[in-house]
Amino acid sequence: MKRIIMSLALLLAVTQPAHADGGKMQSPPNALWQEECGSCHAAFPPRLLTEENWKQLMANLDKHFGDNAELSAKDRQAIESYLTRNAGSGARHSAVSLRITETPWFLREHRSVSPKEWVHPEVKSRANCTACHQNIAQNRWSEHSISIPGRGRWYDDDDD
């Protein structure tokens, strides 16, 4: 019996749709991270930068993209550990600028967004994820929860 259940679980895992990126982006819940890193902008999914990137970013919170995002040593350590535990890996999730929006993954994933759409008054910055991803409060990044200002709802069937 146990063996049957195991093979069923394996079968289910194998038959998941190929483009489940949105689902993979779901971050394990963490109240402290959500509150501290989701107050000025969206709480960016840890998977979108590498462990090295997060360490560097967390070591320089007083100089954070022109802002001061300093935390107590205790909170900083707790959040850093959460981020690095759930970090992405490989060159495609890495950027010298420590910007998710400048990683090869991001640029490729968003290649269908036009230069004009990036500077739409309701978007302004690429880091303004919520302008297009409307359901991230529910932890949903999937392409079925996207609406581009000036274009409308987004569906893509030939995704890879």
Binding to ligand HEC by CB under 6 A, coded x per residue (else -) over 132-151, reads: xx-------xxx--x-x---
159 touches ligand HEC (CB under 6 A): yes
**Residue of 10, 56, 60, 65 interacting with ligand HEC (CB under 6 A):** 65
In the complex, least distance from residue 9 CB atom to ligand HEC, rounded to whole angstroms: 23
Does 25 sit near ligand HEC (CB under 6 A)?
yes
Q: Closest distance between ligand HEC and the C-beta of residue 90, in Å?
A: 16
Which of 27, 51, 79, 82: binder of ligand HEC (CB under 6 A)? 79
In the complex, least distance from residue 38 CB atom to ligand HEC, rounded to whole angstroms:
8
Dihedral (Cα; 45, 50, 51, 55), 10-degree rounding:
-80
Q: How far apart are CA 47 and CA 93, in angstroms?
A: 8
Q: Does 56 bind ligand HEC (CB under 6 A)?
A: no
Is there a contact between 57 and 36 (Cβ–Cβ < 8 Å)?
no
Q: How far is CA 107 from CA 76, 114, 126, 135, 139, in A?
A: 29, 11, 10, 21, 21
Cα pseudo-dihedral 48, 51, 55, 61, rounded to 10? 10
CB 14 → ligand HEC: shortest distance, Å? 19
Handedness of CA 19, 15, 139, 91 (dihedral sign): negative
Total binding residues toward ligand HEC, as defined by CB under 6 A: 44
Q: 113, 134, 139, 140: which one contacts ligand HEC (CB under 6 A)?
A: 113
